[in-house]
């Protein structure tokens, strides 16, 4: 690859001064190492200090730098610029869609985080279990590995067409987390979780468009997780019982916490 000048076309918007968003083109030097994030940083440091975007880790771990590139959501920190250039050596960059824009490439993710909190994303272990090791089989750990890789970048959330018109929809990111907790054998409130997510604002609202799975930069499958939740919704009542039986098989009866799953 020879070094050359390419065009990064950015959707700009400052709600305090602009009536509406507009496109602005910047020329940047392309080298073998240029990522889209490094190109944005070059633009900010050398051409326009007012350009605003989020980033932190630069290693596709923190989830800060998700944006819409050539109309598809992705992380830009590990994205070689050359890979997304069209035949005219041009790429378009916009903020994640379906959310208000704070400025330039920064979307207001309040609804994303609000829905995440709604599913109680934390583990609720049996009472008295804080003092000892949680026991899980290798198979159980493997089953959860899939959902644990989520970095909360929001690429799935803002690719979902339901979010476009309905911010009360829980969204694929939070449903994936709920899936993980419901399947986690250490968690004691699977039925409460299913009550929260198995309704028309949650798993039953999914239209199975699969945009979320396509958008995930970590190769996760939120659409499948949502389908599993929807099926589990019909089994509410049996899950706690199964979990208690599992606990009995791993822990001597007199050691089972008084308020364990199924209470
Ligand atoms: S900057 Fe952290 S994921 Fe891209």
Least confident of 81-85, 117-121, 254-258: 254-258
Distance from residue 72's CA to the centre of ligand 1 (Å):
17
CA within 13 Å, CB half, 19: 0
Q: Give me the pLDDT at residue 260, please.
A: 43
CB under 6 Å to ligand 1: residues? 55-58, 60-65, 75, 77
Banded pLDDT at 129 (limits 50, 70, 90): low
Q: Give me the pLDDT at residue 256, please.
A: 55
Torsion angles phi and psi, residue 170, rounded to 5: -65, -40
Q: Tell me yes or no: is domain 4-107 CATH 3.30.70.260.
A: no
> Which helix or strand (DSSP H or E) is residue 11 part of?
strand 4-12
Residue 13's nearest CA partner among 29, 3, 24 is: 24
Structural domain boundaries in the chain: 4-107, 110-255
Ligand 1 pocket test: pick from 35, 36, 75, 154 the residue with the most ligand atoms within 8 Å of its Cβ.
Answer: 75
Query: For domain 110-255, which CATH number applies: 1.20.1560.10, 3.40.50.2000, 1.10.1060.10, 3.30.420.310?
Result: 1.10.1060.10
pLDDT over threshold 70, residue 60: yes
Distance CA 117, CA 4 (A): 46
Structure tokens that stand for 230 in this block: 């929807």
User: Which atom of ligand 1 lies nearest, measured to the CA of 66?
Assistant: 4
Q: Give me the pLDDT at residue 2, please.
A: 66
Q: Does this model's pTM top 0.75?
A: yes
Using one digit for the tens of pLDDT, what is the confidence trace for 135-175? Answer: 788 888 887 877 889 999 999 999 999 999 899 999 999 99
> Which helix or strand (DSSP H or E) is residue 176 part of?
helix 172-183
Least confident of 76-90, 139-153, 220-234: 139-153
Q: Give me the pLDDT at residue 26, please.
A: 98
Looking up tokens 């583990």 gives 123
């Amino acid at each position: 690859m020879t070094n050359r000048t390419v065009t990064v076309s950015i959707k700009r918007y400052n709600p305090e001064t602009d009536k509406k968003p507009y496109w602005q083109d910047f020329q940047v030097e392309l080298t073998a190492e240029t990522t889209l994030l490094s190109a944005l940083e070059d633009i900010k440091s050398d051409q326009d200090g007012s350009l605003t975007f989020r980033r932190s880790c630069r290693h596709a771990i923190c989830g800060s730098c998700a944006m819409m590139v050539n109309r598809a959501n992705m992380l830009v920190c590990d994205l070689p610029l050359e890979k997304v250039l069209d035949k005219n050596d041009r790429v378009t960059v916009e903020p994640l869609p379906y959310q208000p824009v704070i400025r330039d490439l920064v979307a207001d993710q309040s609804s994303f985080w609000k829905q995440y909190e709604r599913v109680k994303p934390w583990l609720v272990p049996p009472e008295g279990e804080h003092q000892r090791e949680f026991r899980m089989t290798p198979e159980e750990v493997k089953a959860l590995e899939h959902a644990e890789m989520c970095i909360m970048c929001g690429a799935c959330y803002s690719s979902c067409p339901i979010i476009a018109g309905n911010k009360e929809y829980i969204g694929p990111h939070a449903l994936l987390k709920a899936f993980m907790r419901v399947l986690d054998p250490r968690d004691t409130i699977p039925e409460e979780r299913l009550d929260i997510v198995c309704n028309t604002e949650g798993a039953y609202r999914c239209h199975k468009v699969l945009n979320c799975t396509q958008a995930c930069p970590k190769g996760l499958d939120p659409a499948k997780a949502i389908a599993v939740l929807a099926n589990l919704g019909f089994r509410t009542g049996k899950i706690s019982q199964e979990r208690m039986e599992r606990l009995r098989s791993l822990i001597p009866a007199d050691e089972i916490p008084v308020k364990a799953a199924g209470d």
